[in-house]
A and B are shown apart, each in its own frame.
Chain A
Amino acid sequence: MKVRATQAIMECLLEQEVDTVFGYPGGTILNLYDELYHYQDKIHHVLTAHEQGAAHAADGYARSTGKVGVCFATSGPGATNLTTGIATAYMDSSPVVFITCNVSEGLLGKDSFQEVDITGIAMPITKATYLVRDPQTIPDVMRQAFAVAATGRPGPVLIDFLKNVTFLNTMIDYEFIPWDQNRGTDSIRQLAVSHGLKAPEPDLGDIDTLVEMIAQSERPLLICGGGVVRGRADRQFRTFAENLDAPVAITVMGGGGFPGAHPLTTGMIGMHGSQASNVACNECDLLIAVGCRFSDRVALQPDTFASQAKIVHIDIDRSEIDKNVLTDHHIVGSAKRVLELLNQRLPQYQHTEWKEHILPLREKQPVEHGTDRLTPGQILDAIQQAAPQGSIVATDVGQHQMWSIQHFHFDYPGQLLTSGGFGTMGFGLGAAIGAKVGNPDKVVIHTTGDGCFRMNCHELATVEHYHLPIITVVFNNGTLGMVRQWQHLIYQEHYSETTLDRGPDFVKLAEAYGLKGRRVTNRAEMEQALQEALSCGCGYVIDCQVDMDEMVRPMVAGGAHITDFLLK
């Protein structure tokens, strides 16, 4: 069948069951938007205030729904504005397909208006980039891009169409093939043949070796990493942990992979990890890390990390093995499949003595009561009590991020949206928008700091326009809290350029965007504000006045031994 090239692009999106895209139009992508006009009843387009917001929204949509996010942007500045969002998705292995258009063939490489080599720029921060110069290749490229983004270790992919490829009089051959069928067709066969792809299966010998290692271990520890979340292997992981009867430490990206309130949880591990997790890591004799890449925020000192243990690494990405921490054994495979195979072979273990040693170390920091000032603990406690269990939490980056992750219990993959790898300030609001669009029935809470919020607060316009009742909780301490904390502890209290004694008034800002807001200074006000926010049906900004010297505890300095707590 002959269709317009742009029509093929839209149909390819429908093949992948895409019903929502985020984006921002511009000169070179006009043809695509013209086609979108005809498809507006099938594909819902969310127009953000800035391309970065669109990128984060597509990312948040992908993380919270498990589907592939899609984001449109125009050439030049439109494309470069995406880059922070692309890098954020790449570092956290989030499947997003970014579609940009570039200038026409004849103008390519001539420093034309709004021209930039975005495929070159995006190369280091994507799984793959495609520059489409021939309209006939559109179906192949689109199918490949989605397959690459969603499978293996997921990640962002960028497709750059030259403008002449999308001209409305360009006709190409096209046939609609649903995604689960087109993975077996010629379009992707090239990829399949070249990489010898068959039904993948972890090496059974490797699995048996691990089963044996487990049998010999007395003090096993599990780490639940982002791979459990991305691979939606939470059920398998839980069975595994319960069979093994071992404590489970959770990384920032692993939040939601294992129930936060489960009796085996020791909480977060690493720089701001709980004492239970960090001590367990130091004293265990077998460490099994699932879908975790031992980043410098977890394995602070790679040489001494879990020095008494045999380290076993389960990951889908072979290049992560022995990258940051040298391991004793590894299994390459998807978390889900590896854990399924392990569960089939594992008897029920009891590690009572070891558990009794480790689990009591986990004590929650008490929430102050009866004070007239508002502490971070009180804010989070109030949210936890007011918001329904299972609410999605999107965070920005910094102190409030660590507090949120330490305090809340995440029960399912996609419940916590946070920029763990790239640490992108300004990620939260975009991600919350994406999450709310993808999960209209869930309450979405966006926790942020005053520094982060200011970076992308213009997305409140999007929140208002699409009637997204997102609750933004600003931990307003008038400073870049996390940086200040470092300056306090390591830089002799030289608070260089971290004090944010400036506008705007976040309540008035919310009102200016047509939303509601309230400033709170104590717990009672906080509770009232939350009730109002949950019932008002529109976006709501709660400006929480917090002391600027609040700190994230515990803390281990970067590069230090994992149990050398700088702060307890």
Chain B
Amino acid sequence: MNKTFDPEKKLYTLSLLVQDIPGVLSQVARLFSRKGYNIESIVSGETSQPGLTRITIVILGDELMVNQITAQCRKLIPVQVVKILDEETSIQREFAMIKVRAEDRAARDEVIQMANIFRANIIDVSRETLTVAIFGDKSKTSALIRLLSDFGILEMAKTGTLAIERGLSSIYDDSKLRTEYNYGKNVL
């Protein structure tokens, strides 16, 4: 057998294009839990086409496992495309909102300064708190969160990783693999 798969475990990013119908998200999520894989992060949001949702999933696994779960996802009727995005050729971003305790002026100044360095925005202020919004790649958001935790984080809401390919290639591109999967779903 001349096929080999990379046995090393690393983070893989999957991009899915699915029909926007009730239950589609649990259908996708179920495939992962059935095999006992934990999803590191998942985001689901609209696309430029009505009726279509784009789901971005990050999982930790080896190549063979990721290939299999991808195959299972592709088989679902409401799923139109699944693409494994390469770290080097894709842009990955996440977004976080962090509410920090800043009760005196000194603390407030410091938080604002830090936010400026990271190009984060202050989106809400109250007497005792500041809410900071940041977007960027994972290392950037994590670095800011670490620094802000010294002040005491009251709460934080964070999206998972969102990814898109660099350059002209997009999730809509046709490939032989896509044709092969469509064959099995063919209804005409």
Q: Give the shortest distance, in Å, between B62 (CB) and chain A (any CB).
A: 14
A-facing residues in B52-104 (Cβ within 8 Å): 67-68, 71-72, 74-75, 77, 80
Point out the residue from B3, B177, B181 that lies within 8 Å of A328, measured CB to CB. B3
Give which listed residue, B19, B26, B179, B187, contacts A120 with CB less than 8 A. Answer: B26
Residues of B within 8 A of A124 (CB): 30, 34
List the one stretch of A318-326, A348-356, A460-468 in contact with chain B.
A318-326
| Per-position 1/0 for A111-152, Cβ under 8 A of B | 000000001100110011101000000000000100110011
Determine if A195 and B80 form an interchain contact, defined as CB atoms under 8 angstroms apart. yes
Give Cα A91 to B181, complex, Å: 19
Residues in chain A near residue B71, CB distance under 8 A? 318-319, 321, 323
Is the CB of A389 closer than 8 A to any CB of chain B?
no
Q: Is A188 an interface residue (CB 8 A)?
A: yes
Instruction: Say if the beta carbon of A345 comes within 8 Å of chain B.
Output: no
Which of A144, A183, A194, A319 has a CB less than 8 Å from the CB of B75?
Answer: A319
Nearest Cβ on chain B to A255's Cβ, whole angstroms = 23
Q: Report the separation of the CA atoms of residues A498 and B50 in the bound assembly, to the nearest whole angstrom.
A: 58
Contact of B188 among A183, A311, A326 (CB under 8 A): A183
Give the Cβ gap from A182 to chain B, nearest Cβ, in Å: 11
Q: Which residue of B lies closest to A202 (CB)?
A: B183
Residues of chain A lying within 8 A (CB to CB) of residue B67: 322
Query: Which of chain B's residues have a CB closer than 8 A to the CB of A202?
Result: 183
Would you call A128 and B188 a contact (CB within 8 A)? Answer: no
Which residues of chain B are near A322, meaning CB under 8 Å? 3, 67-68
Asked if B185 CB lies within 8 Å of chain A CBs, one says yes
Given A144, A147, A328, A333, which contacts B183 in the complex, CB threshold below 8 Å? A333
**Given known A-B contacts A195-B80, A200-B183, A318-B184, A326 and B23 have beta carbons under 8 A apart:** no
Tell me, rounded to whole Å, the shortest Cβ–Cβ distance linking B124 to chain A: 35
Residues in A whose Cβ lies below 8 Å from that of B19: 194
Interface residue? A153 (CB, 8 A): yes
State whether the Cβ of A317 lies closer than 8 Å to any Cβ in chain B: yes
Q: Does A192 contact B (CB under 8 A)?
A: yes
Residue A110 CB within 8 A of the other chain: no
- Asked if B27 CB lies within 8 Å of chain A CBs, one says yes
**List of B residues within 8 angstroms of A203 by Cβ:** 176, 179-180
Q: Which residue of B lies closest to A310 (CB)?
A: B1
Q: Count the B residues whose beta carbon is within 8 Å of the partner chain — how many? A: 32
Q: Chain B contacts of A393 at CB under 8 A? A: none
- Residues of B contacting A151 with CB < 8 Å? 186-188
A147-B187 in contact given A123-B23, A323-B68 (Cβ < 8 Å): yes
Dominant SS at the A interface?
loop
The answer to whether A199 has its CB under 8 Å from any CB of chain B is yes
Is residue A96 contacting chain B, with contact meaning CB distance below 8 A? no
Contacts of B167 in A (CB 8 A): none
Taken together as a complex, chains A and B put the C-alpha atoms of A563 and B185 apart, in Å, by 37
Give chain B residues whose Cβ lies under 8 Å from the Cβ of A153: 184
B74 to chain A, nearest CB (A): 6
A195 x B182 contact (CB < 8 A): yes
Q: Which of B68, B75, B174, B177 is the one whose CB lies under 8 Å from A317?
A: B75
CB distance from A162 to the nearest CB of B (A): 13
Known: A131-B22, A319-B72, A328-B3. A152 touches B184 (CB 8 A): yes
CB distance from A287 to the nearest CB of B (A): 11
Chain A 316-341 residues near chain B, CB threshold 8 A: 316-319, 321-323, 326-328, 332-333
CB contacts (< 8 Å) of B177 on chain A: these are 318
Query: Across the two chains, which residue of chain A brings its CB closest to B80?
Result: A194
Complexed CA–CA distance, A82 and B48 (Å): 40
Distance in angstroms from A240 CB to nearest chain B CB is: 20
Distance in Å: Cβ of A319 to nearest Cβ of chain B: 4
Report how far A176 CA is from B131 CA in the complex, Å: 60
Contact A152 B187 (CB under 8 A): yes
For residue A388, give the distance in angstroms from its CB to the closest CB of chain B: 37
Minimum distance in angstroms from A85 CB to a CB of chain B: 21
- A193-213 interface code vs B (CB 8 A; 1 in, 0 out): 011111110110000000000
Evaluate contact between B188 and A184: CB separation under 8 angstroms.
yes
**Chain B contacts for A183, CB-based, 8 A:** 187-188
Q: Does A191 contact B (CB under 8 A)?
A: yes
B108 to chain A, nearest CB (A): 46
User: Across chains A and B, which 8 residue pairs bring their CB atoms closest together, nearest first?
Assistant: A319-B71, A332-B180, A147-B187, A318-B180, A152-B184, A128-B77, A319-B75, A317-B184
- 10 cross-chain CB contacts under 8 A: A148-B77, A152-B185, A183-B187, A184-B188, A197-B188, A199-B188, A318-B184, A319-B75, A322-B3, A323-B68
B interface, CB within 8 angstroms of A: 1-3, 19, 22-23, 26-27, 30, 34, 67-68, 71-72, 74-75, 77, 80, 174, 176-188
